[in-house]
Each structure stands twice: as structure tokens, then as C-alpha cells.
């Protein structure tokens, strides 16, 4: 199976690839204090906080190969300063949709640490991953 390459778009001052890999997804979960599907749900429903959207775009740039300092500059210059939030919401939604489709489409090793906050892909319900000592009653 081919590795997911991300979404390439003409945006800002050039052409950029956006991709949320495992590292970016974990960073987004950590910064927003919620699971990736909860963040995606807020974006899709138009209920996202600005920081949800800005971080999704910034981390999508980083995951697509943009230097982190350049990613911050791009987000500042093309989303925050001109207040192009409508465009940013649309981009964040597309980045999530395509990244998660690619992410879950691959066979991945079980890298979820016990107790990590997770969202179930099909239900969107939040919970924690089972601990090593958890048992089914």
C-alpha cells in the first residue's frame, strides 16, 4: 500500500503540501487538549476555536515538509494578519479529511500508549486507550 503523500495546494506565496502525520496529530491533540476526531468534528460543524484551525494548518504544513519557522510565518502572514479565517476553516477541514483518510487507510503499528486520550474513528466518542492492566469484566 502506498504511503499517504498529503494534499498539495496553491496557497499563500507558492505551492505547499499539507499532511497531518502521527507526530503532528499527537501535537495537535496535546495543544488542544482533546482528541483528533473531536477537533475535526468542531471544524466540520463550524464550532472550532480559531486555534484549532490555525494549528491544523500550521502542523499540516510541517507534516508536508515545510520548515516549522516558515509554517508559523505563513500562518501569521496569510491567515492571522489579514484575518482570512473563512479560507483557513476550509483548508483545515480538507487537511483533516484527507490526512485522516490516509492515516487510517494504512496498516499502522499499535503505537497508542496505554491511557492516551483517543477518539473512536467511527463514533467520534472520546475515551482513553486501555491500560496494560485493564481487564474486560
Q: What are phi and psi of 66, to 5 degrees?
A: -80, 140
Is the per-residue pLDDT at 95 higher than 90?
A: yes
pLDDT in tens, 9-29: 999 999 999 999 999 999 999
Structure confidence at residue 100 (pLDDT) = 82
- Poorest-confidence range of 1-5, 41-45, 78-82? 1-5
pLDDT in tens, 27-78: 999 999 999 999 999 999 999 999 999 999 999 999 999 999 999 999 999 9
Is the per-residue pLDDT at 8 higher than 60?
A: yes
Amino acid at each position: 500500500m502506498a504511503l499517504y503523500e498529503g494534499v498539495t495546494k496553491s496557497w499563500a506565496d507558492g505551492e505547499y503540501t499539507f499532511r497531518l502525520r502521527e507526530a503532528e496529530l499527537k501535537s495537535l491533540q496535546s495543544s488542544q487538549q482533546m482528541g483528533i476526531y473531536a477537533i475535526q468534528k468542531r471544524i466540520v460543524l463550524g464550532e472550532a476555536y480559531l486555534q484549532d484551525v490555525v494549528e491544523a494548518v500550521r502542523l499540516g504544513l510541517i507534516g508536508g515538509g515545510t520548515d516549522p519557522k516558515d509554517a508559523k510565518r505563513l500562518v501569521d502572514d496569510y491567515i492571522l494578519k489579514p484575518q482570512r479565517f473563512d479560507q483557513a476553516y476550509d483548508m483545515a477541514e480538507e487537511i483533516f479529511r484527507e490526512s485522516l483518510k490516509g492515516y487510517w487507510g494504512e496498516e499502522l503499528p499499535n503505537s497508542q500508549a496505554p491511557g492516551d486520550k483517543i477518539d473512536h474513528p467511527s463514533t467520534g466518542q472520546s475515551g482513553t486507550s486501555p491500560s496494560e492492566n485493564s481487564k474486560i469484566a
